[in-house]
Structure 1
Amino acid sequence: MDQCGSCPLLGSTDPRDLSNTIWRNRMGAFRKLDIHVVCTTHWMAEKVRASSLLGKKPVSVIPNTVPLDIFYPMRREALRKDLSFAENDFVMMFSSQSLTNYRKGGQFILEALHRIADGPDGKRTKVLLLGQHPDEAFFKTGIDVIYCGYLTDMQQLAVYYNAADVFLFPSLEEAFGQVTAEAAACGTPTVAFAAGGIPETIEHGVTGWLAPTGSLEGLLEGIRWAKDAAGDPKMRKRCRILAMERWSPEKTTHLYAGLFRELAEKD
């Protein structure tokens, strides 16, 4: 697409509609600026390079950072005991504001919960649900749901990541996947759709599971994988290593410092 116009989000068929006006204004402004774009994922960088507004601008990829001194592996046995989880409980963690936000994928989790059953291995499935206004439908699936409310305390969030056997992230659109990085830093794998930049935060079959975007069966396969691997110390250690290698504040600082030096030398 060379420029905006006839915007479907505006219900418009006019090629010179408001979206086109905004596009032309931005293009006029961007032409005058010496812009260097920084993206958090290679997926996002490719989108920028394909953009009619920014496609000719230089692009670098520098991922987000995770505070590794807050999100780190803790003594899971004690945490799970404090939360009244039995040793054999299989605990899934999910954050949802509303099932009405289709692109966040909560509807897939709800469908999955209806199809998940406690296995012959004696593992009982439980869900740690975070969010400001959880949909009541989550409490009618037959699965034990523990509602933790809306959290602003990152340290408490880290406790829940540690207590969980898997973090579920069924977003259909995502530029990076900050929560998957936080979960990994705590040693917890993520089952997610391979949407947007999410695949750059998960090593499939190693630190998590990437299901085809929008595939309920793929999501269920990932949950089964996580259940089989629940508590595996090698897997949890690899999750932590991944976070340290990719999202440490030191690495991000180093990358930005290098970029700033490069740009300064050009001036």
Structure 2
Amino acid sequence: MNVVHVNANDVSGGAARSCYRLHQFLLRQGVNSRLLVQHKRSIDPTVELIESWVTDTGLFQNIELVQRVFAAHNRTDISNTHFSVSLAGSDLSRHPAVEAADVIHLHWVASMQTPADIRRLMALGKPVVWTLHDLRPLTGGCHFPAGCSRFQDSCAGCPQLRHDPLGLPAAALRDQIALIDATSLTVIAPSRWIAEQARLSALLRDKARIENIPNGIDVDVFAPRSRAEARKELGLARDGIYILCGADQTEEKRKGFESLARVLCEVVHDPRFVSSGARMLWVGDPPTGQAYGDIPLIPLGRIPQEEQMALAYAASDLFLLPSLEDNLPNMLLEALSCGIPAIAYSVGGVPEVLHDGVNGRLIPAADEREFVQALLCLVGDASLREEMGRRARALASEAYAASTPGRK
């Protein structure tokens, strides 16, 4: 079988990592899998950088102007998550990998495929699968709607834009509905939450086949190992508690790091926290302008290698996920698979993997007081952390192995 994946990136970002893991699994199973990307960082020969998505310089400048003026610099305060104006892309219908493919699998394609481009792919008569890494395929521009449900109707009067004189989101959604034959799509929803959003959407409602298939991870890489050895390898102190946190694009409001800052400032002087000698390990770029009290913060930077990321989990006692809006976060799956209990808000697909009192603590959305109490409890109870960690590993290794999405 020949499968071609289409995604904006190969290894950068959560959607890219999920896509690349599936691509690698299929290759190991003997499937002739190819990945077409707009931005390539790996040296993998099975990943191909497509040609420039706009060859007309004047058109490119006009599109950039529209994106900048009517989207990027026109946002309200409710969200700063990416907002895509998909006005130009690449016609991949004649690409050799697409022509040879038995199955076309779209992933995060907002910056490289317009509805017209997708229509051309579907016109080839081949099965087209689209994985929802966020909600952009269902909306007129936003990637996460910040509580808005207008994508279920028309996307008119978008609350994420201050001014909308051109009616861009509504026009974009109309184009998607007119040009994409949803009855011919198979939609993969990594979480039950996003599957429900898809079933409610104006684009897919009562049309597309929607399957809930969680993203997979390599449970052999993301596995429990000696905490002492991991700390030694990372040059960390052997004693004390390490709390792991981090994300791509930490300045996004929906990632919840403003909320986390308030939580940490509450716990930092509590005797239970002080006596634990707790320190923060941070993956990615720590958010600027946030105060975390007097808690020592150790930046680990960006970690593209999965083996090194697994080492960071192994060195940690606890993982914090303060997201206020999310799908099925890779870092949560990875931490649980490494046997690290987590504390997170009950949003999106998080409750599908984090079970309160079983493999961590699941906190009502934005309930910072409850987050504080959960953090103090787990910081002060090593035996509870260990028991939750064992349950976390058992659940994750069974449900989220990389083979799961590939075989399904």
Q: Is the contact between residue 186 and residue 209 of structure 2 (CA under 8 Å) also seen in structure 1?
A: yes
Task: Choose which of 260, 285, 288 in structure 2 pairs with 1:132.
Answer: 285
Q: Is the contact between residue 175 and residue 197 of structure 1 (CA under 8 Å) also seen in structure 2?
A: yes
| Mapped partners of 1:19, 1:43: distance in 2 | 23
Aligned to 1:58: 209
Residue identity matched to 1:38: I
SS of 1:119's partner is: helix
| Mapped partners of 1:173, 1:234: distance in 2 | 28
> Where do residues 93-172 of structure 1 align in structure 2 (5 Å cutoff)?
93-96=244-247, 100-116=251-267, 117=269, 118-119=271-272, 122-132=275-285, 134-135=287-288, 137-138=290-291, 141-172=293-324
How big is the shift at 1:6?
2.2
SS of 2:180's partner is: helix
Residue identity matched to 2:404: K
Deviates more, 1:216-225 or 1:46-55: 216-225
| Mapped partners of 2:386, 2:160: distance in 1 | 47
Q: Is the contact between residue 276 and residue 380 of structure 2 (CA under 8 Å) also seen in structure 1?
A: no
Task: Choose which of 146, 154, 158 in structure 2 pairs with 1:3.
Answer: 154
Unaligned runs of 5+ in 2: 1-151
Asked if 1:248 is matched to 2:398, the reply is: no
Residue identity matched to 2:372: L
Aligned to 1:184: 336
Aligned to 2:222: 71
| Mapped partners of 1:29, 1:137: distance in 2 | 44
Deviates more, 1:113-122 or 1:45-54: 113-122
Aligned to 1:238: 391
Q: State the superposition RMSD in angstroms.
A: 2.3
| Mapped partners of 2:273, 2:246: distance in 1 | 28
Q: Is the contact between residue 221 and residue 306 of structure 2 (CA under 8 Å) also seen in structure 1?
A: yes
How big is the shift at 1:134?
4.2
Give identity over the alignment, percent: 27
How big is the shift at 1:101?
2.0
How big is the shift at 1:121?
8.7
| Mapped partners of 1:250, 1:80: distance in 2 | 30
Aligned to 1:213: 365
> TM-score, normalising length from structure 1?
0.85
Q: Is the contact between residue 98 and residue 135 of structure 1 (CA under 8 Å) also seen in structure 2?
A: no
Q: Which has the larger share of helix? A: 1
* Alpha carbons of structure 1 residues 38 and 98: separation in structure 2 relative to 1, 3 Å: closer
| Mapped partners of 1:10, 1:240: distance in 2 | 42
Residue identity matched to 2:369: E
SS of 1:187's partner is: coil
How big is the shift at 1:80?
2.9
| Mapped partners of 2:303, 2:231: distance in 1 | 18
Residue identity matched to 2:337: A
How big is the shift at 1:22?
1.3
| Mapped partners of 2:312, 2:285: distance in 1 | 16
Q: Is the contact between residue 104 and residue 173 of structure 1 (CA under 8 Å) also seen in structure 2?
A: yes
Alignment deviations for residues 166-187 of structure 1 (CA, whole Å, 9 cap, x no partner): 1110011101121110001100
How big is the shift at 1:35?
1.2
How big is the shift at 1:145?
1.3
SS of 2:275's partner is: coil
Bigger relative contact order, structure 1 or 2, given CA contacts below 8 A and separation 6+? 1
Aligned to 1:91: 242
Unaligned runs of 5+ in 1: 257-267
* Alpha carbons of structure 1 residues 21 and 106: separation in structure 2 relative to 1, 3 Å: same
* Alpha carbons of structure 1 residues 22 and 241: separation in structure 2 relative to 1, 3 Å: same
* Alpha carbons of structure 1 residues 120 and 247: separation in structure 2 relative to 1, 3 Å: closer
| Mapped partners of 1:161, 1:120: distance in 2 | 20
| Mapped partners of 1:192, 1:86: distance in 2 | 26
How many pairs are equivalent?
252
Runs (4+) of structure 1 moved beyond 6 Å? none
| Mapped partners of 1:20, 1:123: distance in 2 | 53
How big is the shift at 1:204?
1.1
Deviates more, 1:182-191 or 1:69-78: 69-78
